[in-house]
Amino acid sequence: MKIKILVVDDSAFMRKVITDMIESDHQMEVVGIGRNGEDAISKIRLLKPDVVTLDIEMPKMDGLTALRTIMSEMPLPVIMLSSLTKKGAEETLKALDLGAFDFITKPSSLIKVSAPEVKNELIEKIQIASRTKVKALKSPKTYPEATQREVPVQTSNSSTNNRFKKIVAIGTSTGGPRALQDVIPYIPGDISASIVIVQHMPPGFTKSLAERLDSMSQIHVKEAENGDIMKQGWAYLAPGDQHLKVTKQNGQFVIKLDNSDRVSGHRPSVDAMMESIVEMNHKNVIGVIMTGMGADGAQGMKKIKDSGGFVIAQDEESCIVFGMPKIAIKLDAVDKVVGLSNIANEIVKAMEV
């Protein structure tokens, strides 16, 4: 039985390119095309596809408006096609909030359109999306008050407190942007920890994600910069296409970014971040492995646990894709398996371990 896909894009050229990519895999077939959001909704009702690829910017009805209707009335896996712009990144994050399964970036040139990695990424995401149970869109969440923070904006020579009890290291991938919004805003602003996060995302999207998380959280969240001195009550998100590693200099924990080879198939890599922490022989670490496909982070979490740290994994029920946590659990790299809504509480509890 082939996976049935509906391709929605206002560009005839892009519809043809995406269709050809999909149908290069013999397990998939494009059962229809849509030219705008209205067309998408009617075609979904008629053709009942397994997965939809949906452009964000379209005439008549844009992708976000269509997605809201799809996820409310006929939920199914939707993969967004996003442009590599700040507006595109912000709209993509909104789409993930609304329940989109994942996104790929629209090729920006004819050369990139034919790049095999674009096709491989699309096919892999469609395959996994087709096996995912999608829930109807819920009412928007309310988050704790984030406006009472008194910590000044960090600068390179900030005197903000850089003495903290623990490092919290979080790794996630598919489903991560939405999942992080169920964790980071619930971490108390006075936590005696500094937090580092790897979310698999391309360049240009992580800054928007960090800003979004910062706006709704009690702690401060920023896209990490090379040389950042880690501070209590701050979270640092690895930039797209750069490894985030933690080093120690003059008694302070410092973030180093680099473009070295991919680790576990990724850059940034959760394993690369975790291993840099283990190499410092720092035992006061809480590792958190969350929703995502693949195995990145499992080996790093195992090293964290074996070196005396405490590891929390997201459970299968609350994961969009139970890949990364599953492998970590199989490796006996995890101390506690909990639902997404309990991860922040478990982090706070683990501060006392």
User: Does residue 160 sit within a domain?
Assistant: no
Set 296, 315, 318, 335: catalytic member: 296
Phi, psi of 337 (to 5 degrees): -110, 120
Helix (H), strand (E) counts: the chain: 12, 14
Rounded Cα–Cα distance for residues 310 and 227 (Å): 26
Pairing of strands 252-258, 243-249: antiparallel
Give the per-residue pLDDT at 116: 81
Give the per-residue pLDDT at 123: 94
CATH number of the structural domain spanning residue 330? 3.40.50.180
User: Does residue 158 sit within a domain?
Assistant: no
Instruction: Check whether residue 170 and residue 304 sit in a common domain.
Output: yes
**263 Cβ contact list (under 8 Å, min separation 6):** 243, 269, 271, 272, 296
CATH number of the structural domain spanning residue 13? 3.40.50.2300
DSSP-assigned letters across all residues of 261-323: --BTTBSS-HHHHHHHHHHTT---EEEEE-SBSS-TTHHHHHHHHHTT-EEEEE-TTT-SSBS
Contact between 143 and 210 (Cβ < 8 Å): no
Give the per-residue pLDDT at 152: 43
Task: Give how many domains the chain has, as a whole number.
Answer: 2
Rounded Cα–Cα distance for residues 240 and 163 (Å): 28
Nearest residue to 296 (alpha-carbon basis) of 267, 261, 320: 267
What pairs with residue 197 in β-bridges? 170, 237
Set 200, 220, 243, 282: catalytic member: 200
User: Does residue 141 sit within a domain?
Assistant: no
Which of residues 130, 154, 175 is at a domain's end? Answer: 130
Beta strands in 11-131 (DSSP E): 28-34, 51-55, 78-82, 102-105
Give the per-residue pLDDT at 142: 62
Tell me the pTM.
0.90
Rounded Cα–Cα distance for residues 307 and 292 (Å): 24
Instruction: Check whether residue 325 and residue 272 sit in a common domain.
Output: yes
Residue 11: active-site member: no
Contact between 222 and 154 (Cβ < 8 Å): yes
Give the per-residue pLDDT at 147: 45
For 189, which DSSP code?
T
Set 173, 194, 217, 276: catalytic member: 173
Contact between 243 and 219 (Cβ < 8 Å): no
Residue 200: active-site member: yes
Residue 156: active-site member: no
Give the per-residue pLDDT at 83: 80
Instruction: Check whether residue 307 and residue 262 sit in a common domain.
Output: yes
**What parts of the chain have a pLDDT lower than 70?**
107-115, 137-161
Give the per-residue pLDDT at 287: 98
